[in-house]
Chains A and B, each alone.
Chain A
Amino acid sequence: MTREQVRQAILNIISDIAPDEDLGTIKDEEKLRDQFDLDSMDFLDIVMELRKRFNLEVPEKDYQELVSMASSVEYLFPRLKDNELVR
Protein backbone atom coordinates (compact mmCIF):
# COMPACT_ATOMS: atom_id res chain seq x y z
CA MET A 1 0.00 0.00 0.00
CA THR A 2 1.07 3.54 -0.63
CA ARG A 3 0.77 6.16 2.11
CA GLU A 4 -2.40 7.40 0.47
CA GLN A 5 -3.83 3.86 0.49
CA VAL A 6 -2.96 3.42 4.15
CA ARG A 7 -4.82 6.64 4.84
CA GLN A 8 -7.76 5.31 2.83
CA ALA A 9 -7.67 2.03 4.76
CA ILE A 10 -7.98 3.95 8.04
CA LEU A 11 -10.78 6.08 6.63
CA ASN A 12 -12.61 2.91 5.60
CA ILE A 13 -12.38 1.57 9.12
CA ILE A 14 -13.58 4.80 10.73
CA SER A 15 -16.45 5.10 8.30
CA ASP A 16 -17.50 1.55 9.21
CA ILE A 17 -17.37 2.09 12.97
CA ALA A 18 -18.98 5.54 12.87
CA PRO A 19 -21.40 5.39 9.94
CA ASP A 20 -23.04 8.73 10.74
CA GLU A 21 -19.82 10.76 10.43
CA ASP A 22 -18.91 12.92 7.45
CA LEU A 23 -15.27 12.02 6.98
CA GLY A 24 -14.79 14.58 4.22
CA THR A 25 -14.07 17.13 6.94
CA ILE A 26 -11.40 15.10 8.73
CA LYS A 27 -8.34 17.09 9.84
CA ASP A 28 -5.33 14.81 9.69
CA GLU A 29 -3.37 16.53 12.42
CA GLU A 30 -6.17 16.73 14.96
CA LYS A 31 -6.99 14.05 17.51
CA LEU A 32 -9.61 11.56 16.25
CA ARG A 33 -11.02 11.43 19.77
CA ASP A 34 -11.80 15.14 19.71
CA GLN A 35 -13.11 15.28 16.16
CA PHE A 36 -15.48 12.33 16.36
CA ASP A 37 -15.85 11.70 20.11
CA LEU A 38 -14.21 8.31 19.66
CA ASP A 39 -13.93 6.52 23.00
CA SER A 40 -11.78 3.61 24.17
CA MET A 41 -14.31 1.11 22.81
CA ASP A 42 -14.00 2.72 19.38
CA PHE A 43 -10.20 2.57 19.46
CA LEU A 44 -10.41 -1.08 20.37
CA ASP A 45 -12.58 -1.53 17.29
CA ILE A 46 -9.98 0.18 15.10
CA VAL A 47 -7.29 -2.14 16.48
CA MET A 48 -9.48 -5.20 15.98
CA GLU A 49 -10.30 -4.15 12.41
CA LEU A 50 -6.58 -3.78 11.63
CA ARG A 51 -6.08 -7.32 12.84
CA LYS A 52 -9.06 -8.61 10.91
CA ARG A 53 -8.27 -6.84 7.63
CA PHE A 54 -4.48 -6.85 7.55
CA ASN A 55 -3.54 -9.45 10.13
CA LEU A 56 -1.71 -6.68 11.94
CA GLU A 57 -1.35 -6.69 15.71
CA VAL A 58 -1.11 -3.31 17.38
CA PRO A 59 0.22 -3.86 20.91
CA GLU A 60 -1.51 -1.91 23.66
CA LYS A 61 1.58 0.23 24.28
CA ASP A 62 1.30 1.51 20.69
CA TYR A 63 -2.39 2.55 20.87
CA GLN A 64 -1.26 6.12 21.39
CA GLU A 65 0.22 6.11 17.85
CA LEU A 66 -3.36 6.01 16.53
CA VAL A 67 -4.27 9.33 18.10
CA SER A 68 -4.67 11.26 14.83
CA MET A 69 -4.93 10.40 11.16
CA ALA A 70 -1.40 11.72 10.51
CA SER A 71 0.19 9.75 13.37
CA SER A 72 -1.78 6.63 12.35
CA VAL A 73 -0.44 6.81 8.78
CA GLU A 74 3.06 7.39 10.12
CA TYR A 75 2.80 4.35 12.38
CA LEU A 76 0.95 2.02 10.03
CA PHE A 77 2.64 2.75 6.68
CA PRO A 78 5.85 0.80 7.38
CA ARG A 79 3.78 -2.05 8.82
CA LEU A 80 1.25 -2.21 6.00
CA LYS A 81 3.30 -1.28 2.95
CA ASP A 82 3.48 -4.92 1.78
CA ASN A 83 -0.29 -5.40 2.18
CA GLU A 84 -2.96 -4.81 -0.45
CA LEU A 85 -5.74 -2.34 0.30
CA VAL A 86 -8.90 -4.28 1.14
CA ARG A 87 -12.36 -3.14 2.11
Chain B
Amino acid sequence: MNYDAIIIGSGLSGLAAGIRLAMFDKKVLIVEKHIEVGGLNSFYTRKQRTFDVGLHAMTNYTPKGVRTSPLGKLLKQLRFKHDEFRLCPQEMSEIRFPDKALRFTNEFEFLEQEVAEQFPSQIDGFQKLLTHIREFNELDLDDSQQISSREVLESCLTDPVLIDMLYCPIMYYGNAAEGDMNFYQYVIMFKSIFMEGFAKPVGGMPYILKLLVDKYQSLGGELRMGAGVQSITHEDSELRSIHLENGETLVADKVISSAGAIETLRLCDPPIVEESELEIGQMSFIESIFVLDKLPKEVGYDKSIVFYSTEPRFKYSVPKGLTDVTSGVLCCPNNFQYPETPSEGIIRVTNQANFKLWDAMARSDYRAAKKEYRDRGVNALLTYFPDFSDHIIYIDSFTPKTIFKYTGHLNGAVYGSPTKIKSGRTPVKNLFICGTDQGFLGIIGATLSGISMANLHILQAEAKSEYGRI
Protein backbone atom coordinates (compact mmCIF):
# COMPACT_ATOMS: atom_id res chain seq x y z
CA MET B 1 0.00 0.00 0.00
CA ASN B 2 1.45 3.36 -1.00
CA TYR B 3 0.26 6.49 0.80
CA ASP B 4 0.84 10.13 -0.04
CA ALA B 5 1.38 10.65 3.67
CA ILE B 6 1.47 8.63 6.86
CA ILE B 7 1.00 10.44 10.14
CA ILE B 8 2.28 8.93 13.36
CA GLY B 9 -0.03 9.65 16.28
CA SER B 10 -3.68 10.62 16.50
CA GLY B 11 -3.36 13.53 18.93
CA LEU B 12 -4.64 16.96 18.01
CA SER B 13 -1.66 17.75 15.76
CA GLY B 14 -1.81 14.44 13.91
CA LEU B 15 -5.57 14.64 13.38
CA ALA B 16 -5.33 18.25 12.19
CA ALA B 17 -2.55 17.39 9.72
CA GLY B 18 -4.65 14.46 8.54
CA ILE B 19 -7.73 16.61 7.97
CA ARG B 20 -5.76 19.13 5.90
CA LEU B 21 -4.26 16.42 3.71
CA ALA B 22 -7.48 14.43 3.28
CA MET B 23 -9.28 17.69 2.42
CA PHE B 24 -7.10 17.98 -0.66
CA ASP B 25 -7.55 14.37 -1.70
CA LYS B 26 -4.26 13.05 -0.39
CA LYS B 27 -4.22 9.37 0.42
CA VAL B 28 -3.44 9.61 4.09
CA LEU B 29 -3.17 7.16 6.98
CA ILE B 30 -2.85 7.95 10.67
CA VAL B 31 -1.30 5.21 12.79
CA GLU B 32 -1.99 5.33 16.53
CA LYS B 33 -0.43 2.89 18.95
CA HIS B 34 -3.15 3.22 21.57
CA ILE B 35 -6.80 2.27 21.57
CA GLU B 36 -7.94 5.87 22.11
CA VAL B 37 -7.16 8.96 20.06
CA GLY B 38 -5.92 12.19 21.63
CA GLY B 39 -2.31 11.65 22.71
CA LEU B 40 -1.45 14.23 25.36
CA ASN B 41 -4.97 15.69 25.26
CA SER B 42 -7.14 12.68 25.67
CA PHE B 43 -9.56 11.14 28.13
CA TYR B 44 -10.11 7.98 30.13
CA THR B 45 -13.01 6.29 31.82
CA ARG B 46 -13.18 4.97 35.41
CA LYS B 47 -16.36 3.73 37.06
CA GLN B 48 -18.53 5.18 34.28
CA ARG B 49 -17.02 8.62 34.64
CA THR B 50 -15.01 10.11 31.81
CA PHE B 51 -12.10 12.36 32.72
CA ASP B 52 -10.17 14.61 30.38
CA VAL B 53 -6.39 14.36 30.38
CA GLY B 54 -4.46 17.49 29.59
CA LEU B 55 -7.50 19.69 29.31
CA HIS B 56 -7.91 21.91 32.35
CA ALA B 57 -9.12 24.51 29.95
CA MET B 58 -8.50 25.35 26.37
CA THR B 59 -6.31 28.43 26.08
CA ASN B 60 -6.43 30.80 23.06
CA TYR B 61 -10.18 31.29 23.41
CA THR B 62 -11.51 34.10 21.25
CA PRO B 63 -15.20 34.69 20.60
CA LYS B 64 -16.99 34.00 17.33
CA GLY B 65 -16.15 36.59 14.71
CA VAL B 66 -12.49 37.04 15.66
CA ARG B 67 -10.89 35.75 12.48
CA THR B 68 -7.18 36.46 12.86
CA SER B 69 -6.57 34.77 16.23
CA PRO B 70 -5.04 31.29 16.36
CA LEU B 71 -8.51 29.84 17.07
CA GLY B 72 -10.02 31.80 14.16
CA LYS B 73 -7.30 30.53 11.82
CA LEU B 74 -7.70 26.96 13.05
CA LEU B 75 -11.45 27.00 12.45
CA LYS B 76 -10.99 28.21 8.88
CA GLN B 77 -8.19 25.80 8.08
CA LEU B 78 -10.17 22.82 9.37
CA ARG B 79 -13.47 24.32 8.17
CA PHE B 80 -15.42 24.27 11.38
CA LYS B 81 -17.93 26.81 12.58
CA HIS B 82 -17.06 28.42 15.91
CA ASP B 83 -20.31 27.03 17.36
CA GLU B 84 -19.28 23.48 16.50
CA PHE B 85 -16.55 23.60 19.15
CA ARG B 86 -19.25 24.40 21.77
CA LEU B 87 -16.82 26.52 23.78
CA CYS B 88 -17.88 27.90 27.14
CA PRO B 89 -15.68 30.74 28.40
CA GLN B 90 -14.23 30.82 31.92
CA GLU B 91 -15.70 32.93 34.69
CA MET B 92 -12.64 34.24 36.52
CA SER B 93 -9.19 32.87 37.28
CA GLU B 94 -6.50 33.87 39.70
CA ILE B 95 -2.80 33.80 40.44
CA ARG B 96 -2.39 33.38 44.18
CA PHE B 97 0.88 34.02 46.08
CA PRO B 98 1.45 34.52 49.81
CA ASP B 99 0.92 38.29 49.87
CA LYS B 100 -0.56 39.00 46.48
CA ALA B 101 -3.37 37.84 44.24
CA LEU B 102 -3.97 38.77 40.61
CA ARG B 103 -7.34 37.89 39.15
CA PHE B 104 -7.91 37.65 35.42
CA THR B 105 -10.73 37.02 32.98
CA ASN B 106 -10.98 36.72 29.20
CA GLU B 107 -10.99 40.55 29.08
CA PHE B 108 -7.35 41.58 29.15
CA GLU B 109 -8.05 45.03 30.61
CA PHE B 110 -9.11 43.31 33.82
CA LEU B 111 -5.60 41.96 34.41
CA GLU B 112 -4.02 45.32 33.54
CA GLN B 113 -6.23 46.89 36.19
CA GLU B 114 -5.24 44.24 38.74
CA VAL B 115 -1.53 44.79 38.07
CA ALA B 116 -2.04 48.56 38.46
CA GLU B 117 -3.77 48.04 41.82
CA GLN B 118 -1.53 45.30 43.24
CA PHE B 119 1.78 46.53 41.83
CA PRO B 120 1.43 50.29 41.34
CA SER B 121 5.19 50.77 40.97
CA GLN B 122 5.33 48.19 38.17
CA ILE B 123 2.60 49.37 35.84
CA ASP B 124 4.86 51.34 33.48
CA GLY B 125 7.21 48.38 33.24
CA PHE B 126 4.22 46.11 32.65
CA GLN B 127 3.11 48.32 29.76
CA LYS B 128 6.64 48.16 28.37
CA LEU B 129 6.49 44.35 28.54
CA LEU B 130 3.14 44.41 26.72
CA THR B 131 4.66 46.46 23.92
CA HIS B 132 7.43 43.85 23.52
CA ILE B 133 4.82 41.11 23.49
CA ARG B 134 2.49 42.80 21.01
CA GLU B 135 5.30 43.63 18.60
CA PHE B 136 6.81 40.17 18.61
CA ASN B 137 6.03 37.78 15.74
CA GLU B 138 5.97 34.56 17.70
CA LEU B 139 4.61 32.53 14.80
CA ASP B 140 7.56 33.09 12.47
CA LEU B 141 8.70 29.58 11.51
CA ASP B 142 12.11 30.81 10.35
CA ASP B 143 13.00 32.70 13.51
CA SER B 144 15.76 30.91 15.38
CA GLN B 145 16.76 33.62 17.87
CA GLN B 146 17.29 32.44 21.42
CA ILE B 147 15.94 35.22 23.59
CA SER B 148 15.63 34.56 27.33
CA SER B 149 12.20 35.59 28.56
CA ARG B 150 13.66 36.15 32.03
CA GLU B 151 16.04 38.77 30.64
CA VAL B 152 13.18 40.53 28.82
CA LEU B 153 11.02 40.44 31.96
CA GLU B 154 13.83 41.73 34.16
CA SER B 155 14.47 44.57 31.72
CA CYS B 156 10.84 45.70 32.17
CA LEU B 157 9.85 44.72 35.73
CA THR B 158 11.79 45.22 38.95
CA ASP B 159 9.54 43.29 41.35
CA PRO B 160 10.52 39.59 41.26
CA VAL B 161 7.17 38.62 42.77
CA LEU B 162 5.27 40.04 39.80
CA ILE B 163 7.66 38.29 37.41
CA ASP B 164 7.06 35.01 39.22
CA MET B 165 3.30 35.52 39.34
CA LEU B 166 3.17 36.05 35.59
CA TYR B 167 5.42 33.03 35.04
CA CYS B 168 3.29 30.71 37.17
CA PRO B 169 0.40 30.13 34.69
CA ILE B 170 2.63 30.51 31.65
CA MET B 171 5.10 27.88 32.78
CA TYR B 172 2.51 25.45 34.11
CA TYR B 173 0.58 25.62 30.85
CA GLY B 174 3.41 25.24 28.43
CA ASN B 175 7.06 25.38 29.46
CA ALA B 176 9.26 22.43 28.57
CA ALA B 177 12.36 24.01 30.13
CA GLU B 178 13.25 24.58 33.77
CA GLY B 179 13.54 28.05 35.26
CA ASP B 180 13.45 30.13 32.10
CA MET B 181 11.78 29.88 28.72
CA ASN B 182 12.41 31.12 25.23
CA PHE B 183 10.78 34.52 24.75
CA TYR B 184 8.80 33.49 21.67
CA GLN B 185 7.20 30.69 23.70
CA TYR B 186 6.52 33.13 26.52
CA VAL B 187 4.75 35.37 24.02
CA ILE B 188 2.68 32.47 22.65
CA MET B 189 1.61 31.49 26.16
CA PHE B 190 1.06 35.06 27.38
CA LYS B 191 -1.25 35.80 24.48
CA SER B 192 -3.05 32.47 24.74
CA ILE B 193 -3.70 32.75 28.51
CA PHE B 194 -4.02 36.47 29.24
CA MET B 195 -4.80 38.28 25.99
CA GLU B 196 -7.10 35.59 24.61
CA GLY B 197 -8.39 33.36 27.36
CA PHE B 198 -9.80 30.12 28.74
CA ALA B 199 -12.79 28.08 27.67
CA LYS B 200 -14.00 24.51 27.89
CA PRO B 201 -15.97 22.61 25.27
CA VAL B 202 -19.30 21.06 26.27
CA GLY B 203 -18.50 17.35 26.28
CA GLY B 204 -14.78 17.87 26.92
CA MET B 205 -11.99 16.18 24.97
CA PRO B 206 -14.12 13.20 23.84
CA TYR B 207 -16.38 15.65 22.01
CA ILE B 208 -13.58 17.67 20.35
CA LEU B 209 -11.67 14.55 19.35
CA LYS B 210 -14.79 12.95 17.88
CA LEU B 211 -15.41 16.11 15.87
CA LEU B 212 -11.91 15.91 14.40
CA VAL B 213 -11.98 12.15 13.82
CA ASP B 214 -15.39 12.34 12.11
CA LYS B 215 -14.22 15.12 9.80
CA TYR B 216 -11.01 13.28 9.00
CA GLN B 217 -12.80 10.06 8.18
CA SER B 218 -15.59 11.76 6.21
CA LEU B 219 -12.87 13.25 3.99
CA GLY B 220 -11.57 9.75 3.31
CA GLY B 221 -8.69 9.67 5.81
CA GLU B 222 -7.76 6.28 7.25
CA LEU B 223 -7.14 5.79 10.95
CA ARG B 224 -5.62 2.66 12.43
CA MET B 225 -5.71 2.13 16.17
CA GLY B 226 -3.38 -0.18 18.05
CA ALA B 227 -0.82 0.31 15.29
CA GLY B 228 2.48 1.18 16.98
CA VAL B 229 5.45 2.06 14.79
CA GLN B 230 8.46 -0.21 15.20
CA SER B 231 10.85 1.65 12.92
CA ILE B 232 11.20 4.22 10.16
CA THR B 233 13.75 3.02 7.62
CA HIS B 234 15.81 5.35 5.50
CA GLU B 235 18.70 5.05 3.08
CA ASP B 236 21.21 7.86 2.68
CA SER B 237 18.78 10.04 4.62
CA GLU B 238 15.95 9.35 2.15
CA LEU B 239 12.75 8.02 3.67
CA ARG B 240 12.02 4.39 2.73
CA SER B 241 9.27 2.75 4.74
CA ILE B 242 7.43 2.44 8.02
CA HIS B 243 7.44 -0.84 9.91
CA LEU B 244 4.66 -1.48 12.37
CA GLU B 245 4.99 -3.49 15.56
CA ASN B 246 2.74 -6.15 14.01
CA GLY B 247 5.30 -6.77 11.28
CA GLU B 248 3.52 -4.89 8.53
CA THR B 249 5.46 -2.59 6.18
CA LEU B 250 3.92 0.62 4.85
CA VAL B 251 5.22 3.00 2.24
CA ALA B 252 4.51 6.71 1.97
CA ASP B 253 5.95 9.67 0.07
CA LYS B 254 6.06 11.68 3.28
CA VAL B 255 5.75 10.97 6.99
CA ILE B 256 4.72 13.45 9.65
CA SER B 257 5.36 12.24 13.18
CA SER B 258 3.79 13.64 16.32
CA ALA B 259 5.62 11.16 18.56
CA GLY B 260 8.12 13.81 19.69
CA ALA B 261 11.41 14.81 18.06
CA ILE B 262 13.77 12.48 19.90
CA GLU B 263 11.12 9.79 20.08
CA THR B 264 10.82 9.95 16.27
CA LEU B 265 14.58 9.92 15.67
CA ARG B 266 14.85 6.88 17.95
CA LEU B 267 12.49 5.05 15.59
CA CYS B 268 14.83 5.69 12.67
CA ASP B 269 16.77 2.77 11.25
CA PRO B 270 19.72 3.13 10.80
CA PRO B 271 19.98 5.35 13.90
CA ILE B 272 20.33 9.10 13.48
CA VAL B 273 23.45 10.65 14.95
CA GLU B 274 22.01 14.11 15.56
CA GLU B 275 19.77 12.73 18.28
CA SER B 276 22.36 13.42 20.94
CA GLU B 277 22.12 17.14 20.25
CA LEU B 278 18.48 17.28 21.25
CA GLU B 279 17.58 17.80 24.84
CA ILE B 280 15.07 15.46 26.42
CA GLY B 281 12.26 17.24 28.25
CA GLN B 282 12.15 16.83 32.02
CA MET B 283 9.05 18.66 33.22
CA SER B 284 6.21 16.44 34.25
CA PHE B 285 3.28 16.54 36.60
CA ILE B 286 1.07 14.65 38.98
CA GLU B 287 -2.61 15.40 38.81
CA SER B 288 -5.44 14.37 41.11
CA ILE B 289 -9.09 14.53 40.20
CA PHE B 290 -11.61 14.79 43.03
CA VAL B 291 -15.26 14.12 42.33
CA LEU B 292 -17.43 15.86 44.93
CA ASP B 293 -20.99 15.46 46.17
CA LYS B 294 -21.36 19.25 45.88
CA LEU B 295 -20.38 21.85 43.31
CA PRO B 296 -17.00 23.54 43.89
CA LYS B 297 -18.75 26.87 44.55
CA GLU B 298 -20.78 25.27 47.34
CA VAL B 299 -17.56 24.32 49.14
CA GLY B 300 -15.85 27.68 48.67
CA TYR B 301 -14.15 27.33 45.29
CA ASP B 302 -15.44 30.05 43.00
CA LYS B 303 -12.63 30.53 40.47
CA SER B 304 -12.28 28.72 37.15
CA ILE B 305 -8.56 28.12 37.53
CA VAL B 306 -6.10 29.15 40.25
CA PHE B 307 -2.32 29.11 39.76
CA TYR B 308 -0.80 29.22 43.22
CA SER B 309 2.44 29.21 45.10
CA THR B 310 2.58 28.86 48.87
CA GLU B 311 6.14 30.25 48.82
CA PRO B 312 6.93 33.90 47.99
CA ARG B 313 9.13 32.78 45.08
CA PHE B 314 7.83 30.39 42.46
CA LYS B 315 9.98 27.44 41.38
CA TYR B 316 9.54 25.66 38.07
CA SER B 317 11.98 22.75 37.89
CA VAL B 318 12.08 19.01 38.37
CA PRO B 319 11.49 18.52 42.12
CA LYS B 320 14.24 16.91 44.21
CA GLY B 321 11.63 14.65 45.76
CA LEU B 322 8.69 12.90 44.10
CA THR B 323 6.49 15.96 43.96
CA ASP B 324 6.71 19.64 44.81
CA VAL B 325 3.46 20.70 46.46
CA THR B 326 4.54 24.29 47.15
CA SER B 327 2.95 25.39 43.90
CA GLY B 328 0.25 24.05 41.65
CA VAL B 329 -2.76 24.53 39.49
CA LEU B 330 -6.27 24.17 40.83
CA CYS B 331 -8.97 23.74 38.21
CA CYS B 332 -12.72 23.77 38.82
CA PRO B 333 -14.20 22.57 35.53
CA ASN B 334 -17.71 23.44 36.76
CA ASN B 335 -16.84 27.14 36.95
CA PHE B 336 -17.15 27.81 33.24
CA GLN B 337 -20.12 29.42 31.54
CA TYR B 338 -21.87 26.21 30.52
CA PRO B 339 -25.42 26.35 29.17
CA GLU B 340 -26.22 23.66 31.75
CA THR B 341 -24.01 23.18 34.80
CA PRO B 342 -22.46 19.70 34.82
CA SER B 343 -24.17 17.68 37.54
CA GLU B 344 -21.12 16.49 39.47
CA GLY B 345 -18.63 18.80 41.09
CA ILE B 346 -14.99 18.26 40.18
CA ILE B 347 -11.76 19.73 41.50
CA ARG B 348 -8.44 18.97 39.84
CA VAL B 349 -5.05 19.68 41.39
CA THR B 350 -1.76 19.55 39.47
CA ASN B 351 1.78 19.69 40.93
CA GLN B 352 5.28 19.40 39.44
CA ALA B 353 6.68 15.89 39.72
CA ASN B 354 9.88 13.95 39.13
CA PHE B 355 9.53 11.24 36.46
CA LYS B 356 12.62 9.25 37.41
CA LEU B 357 11.61 8.87 41.05
CA TRP B 358 8.02 7.94 40.22
CA ASP B 359 9.15 5.53 37.54
CA ALA B 360 11.63 3.74 39.79
CA MET B 361 9.09 2.82 42.47
CA ALA B 362 7.85 -0.67 43.16
CA ARG B 363 4.15 -1.12 42.51
CA SER B 364 2.98 -1.18 46.13
CA ASP B 365 5.13 1.83 47.07
CA TYR B 366 3.86 3.63 44.00
CA ARG B 367 0.24 3.31 45.11
CA ALA B 368 1.03 4.47 48.63
CA ALA B 369 3.06 7.40 47.30
CA LYS B 370 0.20 8.48 45.02
CA LYS B 371 -2.06 8.69 48.03
CA GLU B 372 0.55 10.41 50.19
CA TYR B 373 1.33 13.12 47.66
CA ARG B 374 -2.32 13.62 46.82
CA ASP B 375 -2.93 14.31 50.51
CA ARG B 376 0.09 16.59 50.73
CA GLY B 377 -1.10 18.47 47.65
CA VAL B 378 -4.51 19.04 49.21
CA ASN B 379 -2.94 20.13 52.50
CA ALA B 380 -0.86 22.76 50.70
CA LEU B 381 -4.03 23.98 49.00
CA LEU B 382 -5.56 24.58 52.44
CA THR B 383 -3.15 27.51 52.85
CA TYR B 384 -5.61 29.45 50.74
CA PHE B 385 -8.80 27.42 50.37
CA PRO B 386 -11.34 25.58 52.49
CA ASP B 387 -11.13 21.85 53.09
CA PHE B 388 -13.32 19.81 50.75
CA SER B 389 -12.27 16.32 51.89
CA ASP B 390 -15.66 15.55 53.48
CA HIS B 391 -17.30 15.91 50.09
CA ILE B 392 -15.08 13.62 48.04
CA ILE B 393 -16.93 10.70 46.48
CA TYR B 394 -14.29 9.54 44.02
CA ILE B 395 -10.57 10.17 43.51
CA ASP B 396 -8.19 9.34 40.72
CA SER B 397 -4.58 10.43 40.22
CA PHE B 398 -2.09 10.13 37.42
CA THR B 399 1.67 10.57 37.60
CA PRO B 400 4.56 11.17 35.16
CA LYS B 401 4.78 7.39 34.87
CA THR B 402 1.15 7.20 33.69
CA ILE B 403 1.77 9.96 31.14
CA PHE B 404 4.77 8.11 29.69
CA LYS B 405 2.87 4.85 29.60
CA TYR B 406 0.00 6.27 27.57
CA THR B 407 1.73 8.85 25.37
CA GLY B 408 5.24 7.46 24.90
CA HIS B 409 6.68 10.92 25.55
CA LEU B 410 10.02 10.36 27.30
CA ASN B 411 10.06 11.31 31.00
CA GLY B 412 6.31 11.91 30.75
CA ALA B 413 7.34 15.37 29.54
CA VAL B 414 3.98 16.78 28.50
CA TYR B 415 5.55 19.83 26.86
CA GLY B 416 8.25 17.80 25.15
CA SER B 417 11.81 18.87 24.59
CA PRO B 418 13.04 22.38 25.52
CA THR B 419 14.63 22.50 22.06
CA LYS B 420 11.87 23.13 19.53
CA ILE B 421 12.22 22.40 15.83
CA LYS B 422 10.06 25.12 14.31
CA SER B 423 10.64 24.07 10.70
CA GLY B 424 9.51 20.53 11.53
CA ARG B 425 12.44 19.15 9.49
CA THR B 426 14.48 16.12 10.52
CA PRO B 427 17.79 14.80 9.17
CA VAL B 428 15.71 12.39 7.05
CA LYS B 429 14.27 13.91 3.88
CA ASN B 430 10.46 13.67 3.77
CA LEU B 431 10.22 12.83 7.47
CA PHE B 432 8.81 15.74 9.48
CA ILE B 433 7.63 16.31 13.01
CA CYS B 434 4.57 18.11 14.28
CA GLY B 435 3.00 18.67 17.70
CA THR B 436 4.62 19.58 20.98
CA ASP B 437 8.24 19.45 19.81
CA GLN B 438 7.58 21.61 16.75
CA GLY B 439 7.02 24.55 19.01
CA PHE B 440 3.42 25.70 18.98
CA LEU B 441 2.02 25.18 22.44
CA GLY B 442 -1.31 24.40 24.05
CA ILE B 443 -4.34 22.64 22.60
CA ILE B 444 -4.97 25.16 19.84
CA GLY B 445 -1.22 25.43 19.29
CA ALA B 446 -0.83 21.68 18.83
CA THR B 447 -3.67 21.68 16.31
CA LEU B 448 -2.13 24.60 14.42
CA SER B 449 1.18 22.76 14.43
CA GLY B 450 -0.37 19.86 12.51
CA ILE B 451 -2.06 22.27 10.11
CA SER B 452 1.07 24.31 9.44
CA MET B 453 3.35 21.29 8.96
CA ALA B 454 0.88 19.67 6.51
CA ASN B 455 0.61 22.98 4.65
CA LEU B 456 4.33 23.76 4.61
CA HIS B 457 5.78 20.36 3.79
CA ILE B 458 3.07 18.79 1.67
CA LEU B 459 0.40 21.12 0.30
CA GLN B 460 2.47 24.25 -0.33
CA ALA B 461 5.59 22.32 -1.29
CA GLU B 462 3.48 20.64 -3.94
CA ALA B 463 1.72 23.77 -5.15
CA LYS B 464 5.05 25.49 -5.65
CA SER B 465 6.96 22.61 -7.22
CA GLU B 466 4.31 22.40 -9.92
CA TYR B 467 5.30 25.86 -10.98
CA GLY B 468 8.96 24.93 -10.90
CA ARG B 469 9.74 27.49 -8.26
CA ILE B 470 10.99 25.57 -5.33
Bound CA span A57–B77, Å: 21
Instruction: Please tell me if B46 contacts chain A, counting CB pairs below 8 Å.
Output: no
Encode contact with A along B65-76: 1 for CB under 8 Å, 0 otherwise.
Answer: 101100011011
Of residues 57 through 79 on chain A, the ones whose CB sits less than 8 Å from some CB of chain B are 57, 59-60
Bound CA span A42–B369, Å: 51
Instruction: Please tell me if A20 contacts chain B, counting CB pairs below 8 Å.
Output: yes
Instruction: Please tell me if A17 contacts chain B, counting CB pairs below 8 Å.
Output: yes
- How far is the CB of B430 from the nearest CB of chain A, in Å? 20
- How far is the CB of B255 from the nearest CB of chain A, in Å? 21
Instruction: Please tell me if A37 contacts chain B, counting CB pairs below 8 Å.
Output: yes
A48–B459 CB distance below 8 A: yes
**Residue among B67, B466, B467 with most chain A CB within 10 A:** B67
- How far is the CB of A33 from the nearest CB of chain B, in Å? 11
| Known contacts A44-B460, A60-B464; is-contact A19 B80 (Cβ 8 Å) | yes
A20–B75 CB distance below 8 A: yes
Number of A-B contacts (CB under 8 A): 45
Bound CA span A20–B24, Å: 21
B467–A18 CB distance below 8 A: no
Total count of chain B residues near the partner, CB < 8 A: 23
Bound CA span A39–B76, Å: 10
Interface SS of chain A: helix
A87 contact set on B, CB distance < 8 A:
none
| Known contacts A20-B65, A44-B455, A47-B463; is-contact A39 B73 (Cβ 8 Å) | yes
Instruction: Please tell me if B128 contacts chain A, counting CB pairs below 8 Å.
Output: no
Partner of A57, one of B73, B75, B466: B466
Which residue from chain A places its CB closest to the CB of B24 in the assembled complex? A48
B25 contact set on A, CB distance < 8 A:
52
Partner of B67, one of A37, A44, A48: A37
A60 contact set on B, CB distance < 8 A:
463-464, 467, 469
- How far is the CB of B214 from the nearest CB of chain A, in Å? 15
| Known contacts A16-B79, A52-B24; is-contact A41 B467 (Cβ 8 Å) | no
A45 contact set on B, CB distance < 8 A:
76-77
Bound CA span A39–B68, Å: 8
Encode contact with B along A21-55: 1 for CB under 8 Å, 0 otherwise.
Answer: 00000000000000011010110110110001000
Bound CA span A57–B466, Å: 9
Instruction: Please tell me if B64 contacts chain A, counting CB pairs below 8 Å.
Output: yes
B466–A41 CB distance below 8 A: no
A42–B76 CB distance below 8 A: yes
Bound CA span A47–B167, Å: 42
Bound CA span A19–B75, Å: 8
A19–B455 CB distance below 8 A: no
Bound CA span A36–B65, Å: 10
Instruction: Please tell me if B82 contacts chain A, counting CB pairs below 8 Å.
Output: yes
B73–A41 CB distance below 8 A: yes
Bound CA span A36–B73, Å: 12
A19–B81 CB distance below 8 A: yes
Extra 4 A-B pairs, beta carbons < 8 Å, given A48-B24, A60-B469: A19-B81, A42-B76, A45-B76, A60-B464
Going nearest first, the 4 A-B pairs with the smallest beta carbon separation are: A37-B67, A19-B81, A37-B68, A20-B81
11 sampled A-B residue pairs with Cβ under 8 A: A17-B76, A19-B79, A19-B80, A20-B82, A41-B77, A42-B76, A44-B460, A52-B24, A60-B463, A60-B467, A60-B469
A residues near B (Cβ < 8 Å) are 16-20, 36-37, 39, 41-42, 44-45, 47-48, 52, 57, 59-60
